[in-house]
Structure 1
Amino acid sequence: MAFPIRSAVAALCAGLAATLLTTAPARAEKQEHAWTVSAGAHAPRARITLDDSTGTLNLSVTRDGRTVIEPSPVGIVTEQADTSRELRFLHRKNRTVEERYRTKSGKRLDRRVRMHETRLSFATPAGARLDLLVRASADGVAYRYVLPAGHGDVLGETSAFNLPPDARAWLGTYRADNEGQFTEYTAATAPTGEYSDQALFETAGGYTLLAESDLTGTYSGARLAHDNGSGTYRVKLADARVKTDGPLTTPWRAMVTGDLATVTRSTFTDDLAPASKVADTSWIKPGTVLWTWLAGGRPAGQSLAAQKAYVDYAAERNWPYEAVDAGWYFKTDAWDTTDPDWQTDSWMPELTAYARAKGVGIIVWIHQRELDTPEERAQWLPTLERWGVKGVKIDFMDSEAQPTLKWYDAVLADTAAHHLMVDFHGSTIPKGIQRTWPHVMTLEGVAGEEKRNNTAAHLTTLPFTRNVIGSMDFTPGAFQRVGLRPNSDAAEAGLAVAYESGLQMFAGTPESYDARPLARDFLDQLPAAWDDTRLLAGRPGQEAVLARRSGDRWFLGGVYAGAARTAEVPLTIGSGRWLVETIEDGTGGLVRNRKVLRGGDTLTVDVVAGGGFAGIACPWRPGVTTCHR
């Protein structure tokens, strides 16, 4: 019996060895041409694959095994090489990126970054090189291209994002000033056209906001091109040819991913951006601003007396800034800066001195054309600094083409050198700029309060799209624009919290505030910056309730679209008992309600059609009757 057993064992071993010899190479080959990157078990997972037959790269994203982004093409085409095909894998390098940094404004001041990074290196048959950098964190996945010198100008990307056709989509039609309205579609039914790259999708894997980070004048701004009937959104650059000189690292193509609360709270696009280039940030001070444009228009801008009256009101309310908009330096179209006396013709030095004595800083509007060249910036910026101006609102760039991005690079360095905070209007959207240049307090890039065609659905979509990626100068508080805005007075007050901006510009008139003392007193309480941000309730296009913390107080802002209702908001702001003061719409105007609730309880608020609310929650103890200080 021994011999048959030995024979059977030998045969089994031989068969097993043959199996191992035939299957091991296939397993190794498969591993060599598919790579995954993830920051953890429940974090989004990127999978990069190289097709053996075509040499093309694809990237897909899943979360907890569910689809976020379907396999999507990756590649870039230059004058010298098409690195979107016929690629051969060379090697892989991994590292962990861990950073801590502090900002001057945003969703929270202290940030902690932990990302897993993979660098995959490839070559074409002709020897052209391409490195694909992929990063994954708890709240997103991003990739970028790295090219060596000698590749020539960039002619375009083959990058795209393939979404499930039935994915819900919230898209803003692309405009150079990024002021398109957000509308809900499915990924496939969105009309053929171009959309802003701040596009939000809902898939089986949760929510994903497409975005961009670390965009500078070395490259070109991106938008999304889409054909009706397809779930594909292609990356289209603003320039047909991107000028390059030497090695190139492109901006990050980012996918902010998670449940809606995670996406809303995310700082992923900032986390991807380079560290601050401003060594001393002590002069950068966020705060609320009395903005005079919607309050008085150009006639107010041309009047020193009117501006002093606005300064008086800001001082009375302890609002730290007043913004002087278009008109203050106009004679015909602009001052003749070739006149040696042009700097002495302005009343701005008198206004800044007047405001300084009252504890108010002045922000001034200026057209981009006045700062277009180094010579013009050398005239304007030192003068504004000498006058005591605290910041500039620069308007009408209206482009994301490479020459304009180079201008951004220059003006950012120059304004920082002259200690001038910046508010960009008619502009690009943040794209990580506020981490690298923390004196950029806010940017427009949104269909804001000035617009007369905004909808309540648009207002409830902005916290999940545009405001996710950085400060947004929507300019809330325009109570006088009854009939020109789609929301109620309580919702208008709530926008000051629901929308984050390092310089929160209040767009109302003093008379409109005094006619609504509850809203005015609420705005008086708003802090300069936030320690934390949480989404309490939300659905794009329907409702958005955000809580932002300063110290031990949480400020609440809720906006709703649709019919009147009793809103139910989970008070997920921490354990213990809280005094919650809300400002709501009543039958005769705004009313204040007070409740004592435990953390995790449901806050109920009566909301009118297109309404909302504002509120403050503070720790309750016996004897505490108000959250106002």
Structure 2
Amino acid sequence: MTSQLRKRSPRPLRSAVAALCAGLAATLCITAPAWADQDADRNAGHPGHVWSVSGPDRAAAAHEPRARVSLDATTGTLSLSVTRADRTVIEPSPVGIVTEQADLSKDLRFLHRKDRLVKERYRAKSGKRLDRRVLMNETRLSFATPTEARFDLVIRASADGVAYRYVLPAGHGDVLGETSAFNLPPDASAWLGTYRVDNEGQFNQYTAATAPTGEYSDQALFATDGGYTLLAESDLTGAYSGARLAHTQGTGTYRIKLADDRVHTDGTLATPWRAMVTGDLATVTRSTFTDDLAPASKVADASWIRPGTVLWTWLAGGREAGQSLTAQKAYVDYAAQRHWPYEAVDAGWYFKADEWDTTDPNWQTDSWLPELVDYAHAKGVGIIVWIHQRDLDTPEERAQWLPTLERWGVKGVKIDFMNSEAQPMLQWYDAILRGTAAHHLMVDFHGSTIPKGIQRTWPQVMTLEGVGGEEKRTNTAAHLTTLPFTRNVIGSMDFTPGGFQRVGQRPNSDAAEVGLTVAYESGLQMFAGTPESYDTRPLARDFLDQIPAAWDDTRLLAGQPGQEAVLARRSGDRWFLGGVYAGAARTAEVPLTIGPGRWLVETIRDGSEGLVQDRQVLRGGDTIGVDVVANGGFAGVACRWHPGLTTCYR
């Protein structure tokens, strides 16, 4: 009996061992997918250490970006490169940071590595889609200098991007700069915006090497043989300093330059993510990578945050309208008639505040704004108000204004003229974000930074300017067709489309102006036209009545930066289409890649005597043909067709 038991025991033991090994192998595939790559890369002839990090989806590995971090055995310097399908995305580029206490860019030695899977799900209040899923591999590499100064380089990789950041322990002193840079092939196509403190520079096309010497916005788009890559930043707070790109003509190198010569730190530090949104153009355009990298929402109850379309009165009536209660009531009446949920009172009303004695406890009674808010509320319209940053600059000013606006019933604030990404201004952002969340005020930042993940962490931020928008008289049609692939990729953009009255002051046609309301995403989509300009264009006006400001999905149907951009955005069971073009008149041919089945498609285009609406029934995957005038465009809406259906409008 004993001998029989001994003969039988190895089989279940072997099975258990096999199961255990299989389980361990599966775990290693999830938590440490790149260990094997390290040895393979080292044996391929690279001196020193090489680590490879890619996304968790092995089935799609050939199409996903892969980061390689190399430590040079001689100099102790780090570099990072990115490939996609073994093709170049980013060439080996320097990685490092310098503090008061240590130069963490050279003479480094490797300590250890840690891997984990980042898997999250969250729901946004605005953006390209509301439901978000995050799936990334994270690798943390720890290094030390000869003096035992230490830091971690944290790399994340997903299906649509690669990012890295530095994590430093306490006691490192102030940050004096980064050696971080991005090396692009010199002949890579580049779409760059000259840096401005208000982020309102136009985007122009160069090659990586021919771009003039200067500083550029850190939202820069490049095309290499590995596809498209948008450089970006995420999780920027007052703990650090904003970044821009410094370039010298003749090279493909774009260095990270901070807004501050010295970044003051206290305790441990995690720098912002240096992000590379990577893939084909459709992947980059619909990516939420910079939001996905950012911390989770700090607003526990977000039920009061409601995106919507807005009648914006600045380009419609100017400061004079802002100084007149009668004029503002008329705008509210128009918004109510159109069922637009908000009206924005811009500069004008607020300049009268210079005469108010805010030390008087009854100072708020001097304003007619509470009366306007009550009037609008009775008609189902919420009020957004403009306010200058200088009057929210101190804790005392914020303690005066924010509770007052909440008590009056104001729904949101448009805060203007920050014009800086230096650390003190970023610390102000931290304070105003906490304050507006506490007082249930949605936010539109103008003269501002760009989103950089802020809308995930603080979902009351519905939109930011940071763009050469409708107010500009120097915009080009090429600039308008580049924005969906650059600025608007990383978050809501308050371009304020719909300025139909600005004929001769804008570079596009009326149909293109309608199309911008879909092509450009904004949680508060502010329409810049006058009531008269809408009423003389009833097709445009009625289309604007249909537009939501929150989307369930976004797809790029056709596009090439600087030439054309056609986006489809879904709300419920309807897809809205927005197309903008630069250049000569043409018949645009756009694939209807919004799903199988039959669709009723209603489009608005430019005709010889004004806007024209066309209706046709198409199958998913068919091509929409639309006549487009020079520097023109179109707008449209598509819904599931069934016999008897004559319109998608509701």
Q: Which amino acid aligns with 2:414?
A: K
Where structure 1 has 5 or more consecutive residues not aligned to the other structure, the ranges are 1-22
Is 2:402 aligned against 1:377? no
Cα distance between partner residues in 2 of 1:519 and 1:537: 22
Please state whether the residue corresponding to 2:212 is helix, strand or coil: coil
Deviation per residue, 1:158-182 (Å, 9 max, x gap): 0000000000000000000000000
Q: Which residue of 1 aligns with 2:513?
A: 492
Please state whether the residue corresponding to 2:103 is helix, strand or coil: coil
Q: Which residue of 2 aligns with 1:167?
A: 188
Alignment of 1:78-117 (within 5 A): 78-117=99-138
Is 2:544 aligned against 1:523? yes
- TM-superposed CA distance for 1:528, in Å, is 3.2
Q: Cα gap change, 1:332/1:93 in structure 2, threshold over 3 Å: closer, same or farther?
A: closer
Deviation per residue, 1:157-214 (Å, 9 max, x gap): 0000000000000000000000000000000000000000000000000000000000
Q: Cα gap change, 1:334/1:221 in structure 2, threshold over 3 Å: closer, same or farther?
A: farther
Tell me if the contact between 2:48 and 2:70 (Cα under 8 Å) persists in the aligned partners: no
Q: 2:304 aligns with which of 283, 293, 300?
A: 283
Q: Which residue of 2 aligns with 1:599?
A: 620
Tell me if the contact between 1:106 and 1:529 (Cα under 8 Å) persists in the aligned partners: yes
Q: Which residue of 1 aligns with 2:158?
A: 137
Deviation per residue, 1:591-625 (Å, 9 max, x gap): 00001100000000000001000000000111011
Cα distance between partner residues in 2 of 1:459 and 1:452: 12
Please state whether the residue corresponding to 1:463 is helix, strand or coil: helix
Is 2:49 aligned against 1:33? yes
Q: Which amino acid aligns with 1:566?
A: T
Alignment of 1:85-484 (within 5 A): 85-331=106-352, 333=354, 335-484=356-505
Judge which range, 308-317 or 27-36, deviates more: 27-36
Please state whether the residue corresponding to 1:451 is helix, strand or coil: coil
What TM-score, normalized by structure 1, do the two folds share?
Answer: 0.95
Please state whether the residue corresponding to 1:121 is helix, strand or coil: strand
Cα distance between partner residues in 1 of 2:639 and 2:400: 48
Tell me if the contact between 2:162 and 2:277 (Cα under 8 Å) persists in the aligned partners: yes
Cα distance between partner residues in 2 of 1:525 and 1:32: 59
- TM-superposed CA distance for 1:330, in Å, is 1.7
Q: Which amino acid aligns with 1:534?
A: R
- TM-superposed CA distance for 1:31, in Å, is 9.1
Is 2:67 aligned against 1:46? yes
- TM-superposed CA distance for 1:71, in Å, is 0.1
Aligned length: 607
Tell me if the contact between 2:412 and 2:443 (Cα under 8 Å) persists in the aligned partners: yes
- TM-superposed CA distance for 1:27, in Å, is 4.3
Query: Considering only aligned residues, what root-mean-square deviation do their CA atoms show, in Å?
Result: 1.4
- TM-superposed CA distance for 1:337, in Å, is 1.9
- TM-superposed CA distance for 1:527, in Å, is 1.5
Tell me if the contact between 1:545 and 1:557 (Cα under 8 Å) persists in the aligned partners: yes
Cα distance between partner residues in 1 of 2:591 and 2:40: 54
Q: Cα gap change, 1:69/1:578 in structure 2, threshold over 3 Å: closer, same or farther?
A: same
Tell me if the contact between 1:329 and 1:335 (Cα under 8 Å) persists in the aligned partners: no
Q: Which amino acid aligns with 1:483?
A: G
Please state whether the residue corresponding to 1:351 is helix, strand or coil: helix
Cα distance between partner residues in 2 of 1:139 and 1:513: 40
Q: Which amino acid aligns with 1:134?
A: I
What TM-score, normalized by structure 2, do the two folds share?
Answer: 0.92
Q: Which residue of 1 aligns with 2:582?
A: 561
Q: Which amino acid aligns with 1:418?
A: H
Please state whether the residue corresponding to 2:479 is helix, strand or coil: helix
Tell me if the contact between 1:288 and 1:528 (Cα under 8 Å) persists in the aligned partners: yes
Where structure 2 has 5 or more consecutive residues not aligned to the other structure, the ranges are 1-38
- TM-superposed CA distance for 1:135, in Å, is 0.2
- TM-superposed CA distance for 1:414, in Å, is 0.4
Q: Which amino acid aligns with 2:435?
A: D
Cα distance between partner residues in 2 of 1:265 and 1:29: 38
Tell me if the contact between 2:191 and 2:220 (Cα under 8 Å) persists in the aligned partners: yes
Q: Which amino acid aligns with 2:599?
A: W
Tell me if the contact between 1:214 and 1:273 (Cα under 8 Å) persists in the aligned partners: yes
Please state whether the residue corresponding to 1:414 is helix, strand or coil: helix
Alignment of 1:541-620 (within 5 A): 541-620=562-641
Please state whether the residue corresponding to 1:330 is helix, strand or coil: helix
- TM-superposed CA distance for 1:28, in Å, is 11
